[in-house]
């Protein structure tokens, strides 16, 4: 979801006035975000947005409040006293660590647009360690570009264990590699031994990887 889309969606909810005020407050005083970020859920609404059932107005608002922290130029003009990247990093990390799951999800969704680099990694890794499917899925979204390959593969295999559909994994086809195929192959053998099935999407991925390997072997 691009910030523009989120803004458009939010424009359609009746509580949009609250958001406009909250965003202006965060731009003027970044310290205000702690309270507003927590309140956004109930102030903007916790029901799914029409046509975007995985999003709520509250979550859209939270992501946009985070973006307001970066002092993005308003109409091409950087606001005076725009926060340095270092401060933004600290604030975003604090909002994650002090957040409830919905707040943490908003941080994960915002990371791809925040440009905080390595500073986002501990947050994504934390989400991957949880047993909350929503957080694990978000950690493998676009923000997973920051993860090194070994951590990313563990995340993908964890999805298979948790029955999280692999469609949540950003750039899966592009990033899936031989070591991942081997991990999935091992899991498939364990499952077979236990008389249990692999989820269809994991099998499909495994087959694609094996096929690709076969082609490479032929070409080589």
Which residues contribute to the site for another protein (CB under 8 A)?
A: 34-35, 38-39, 41-42, 46-47, 98, 100-102, 130-134, 137, 163-165, 168
Nearest distance from residue 130's CB to another protein, in Å?
8
Q: Which is nearer to another protein, 22 or 181 (CB)?
A: 22
Q: How far is the CB of 98 from another protein (least distance, A)?
A: 6
Minimum distance from residue 91 beta carbon to another protein (Å): 14
Distance separating alpha carbons of residues 206 and 208, to the nearest angstrom: 5
Contacts 24+ apart (CB under 8 A), 91-95: 91/30, 91/33, 92/66, 92/116, 92/119, 92/120, 92/123, 93/119, 93/122, 93/123, 94/34, 95/33, 95/34, 95/37, 95/66
Least distance between another protein and beta carbon 191 (Å): 18
Cβ proximity to another protein, 73 vs 200, nearer residue:
200
Rounded to 5 degrees, φ, ψ at 156 are -65, -45
Nearer Cβ to another protein, position 106 or 181?
106
Question: How far is 143 from 115, CA to CA, in rounded Å?
Answer: 10
Residue nearer to another protein on the CB measure, 6 or 95: 95
């Amino acid at each position: 979801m691009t910030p523009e889309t989120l803004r458009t969606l939010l424009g359609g909810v009746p509580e949009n006035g609250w958001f406009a005020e909250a965003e202006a407050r965060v731009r003027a005083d970044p310290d205000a975000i702690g309270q507003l970020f927590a309140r956004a859920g109930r102030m903007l609404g916790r029901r799914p947005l029409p046509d975007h059932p995985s999003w709520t107005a509250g979550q859209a608002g939270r992501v946009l409040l985070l973006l307001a922290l970066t002092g993005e130029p308003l109409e091409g003009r950087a606001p005076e006293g725009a926060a340095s990247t270092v401060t933004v990093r600290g604030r975003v990390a604090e909002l994650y660590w002090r957040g409830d799951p919905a707040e943490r999800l908003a941080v994960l969704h915002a990371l791809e647009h925040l440009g905080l680099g390595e500073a986002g990694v501990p947050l994504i890794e934390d989400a991957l360690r949880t047993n909350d499917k929503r957080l694990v899925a978000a950690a493998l979204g676009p923000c997973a570009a920051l993860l090194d390959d070994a951590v990313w593969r563990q995340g993908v295999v964890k999805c298979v264990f948790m029955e999280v559909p692999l469609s949540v994994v950003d750039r899966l086809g592009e990033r899936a590699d031989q070591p991942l195929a081997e991990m999935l192959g091992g899991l498939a053998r364990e499952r077979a031994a236990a008389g249990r099935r692999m989820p269809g999407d994991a099998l499909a991925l495994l087959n694609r990887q094996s096929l690709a390997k076969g082609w490479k072997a032929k070409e080589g």
